């Protein structure tokens, strides 16, 4: 499990009608993975592992901002939930 949090901050890209800076809210995403490692059993999967990863489990959108993409791409991403299957093999 991996949790990533970007704290709230004031954006210099946008101001409210009263002149105060627009507040970008905090953003937290969670990634989960499950991994199985195969031992030495005399078959093709010897010294291998398989991992299933789910990125941004809650499918949280990034907070809106006045930037050209609509969010701070250096701090947030708009890719949403993603699923990944990784197979790794070691030839020792």
Structural domain harbouring 75: 2-89
pLDDT at residue 53, rounded to an integer: 98
Q: How does pLDDT run across 16-64, given as a tens digit for each residue? A: 899 999 999 999 999 999 999 998 888 888 999 999 999 999 999 999 9
| Residues 61 and 52 sit within 8 Å (Cβ to Cβ) | no
Which pLDDT score is estimated for 66?
85
Average pLDDT over residues 3-19: 92
| Number of folded domains that form the chain | 1
User: What pLDDT shows up at residue 45?
Assistant: 85
Rounded to whole angstroms, the Cα distance separating 40 from 44 reads: 9
What does pTM read for this prediction? Answer: 0.77
Per DSSP, the three-state class of 39 is: coil
Q: How far apart are CA 69 and CA 55, in angstroms?
A: 21
- 64-80: per-residue pLDDT in tens? 998 889 999 999 999 99
| Pair of tokens at residue 53 | 């990863």
Beta bridge partners of 51: 35, 86
* H-assigned helices in 1-92: none
């Amino acid at each position: 499990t991996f949790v990533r949090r970007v704290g709230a901050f004031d954006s210099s890209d946008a101001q409210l009608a009263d002149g105060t800076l627009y507040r970008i809210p905090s953003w937290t995403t969670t990634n989960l993975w499950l991994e199985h490692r195969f031992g030495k059993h005399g078959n093709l999967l010897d010294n291998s592992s398989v991992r299933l990863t789910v990125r941004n489990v809650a499918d949280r959108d990034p907070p809106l901002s006045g930037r050209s993409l609509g969010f701070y791409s250096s701090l947030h991403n708009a890719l949403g939930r993603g699923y990944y299957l990784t197979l790794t093999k070691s030839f020792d």
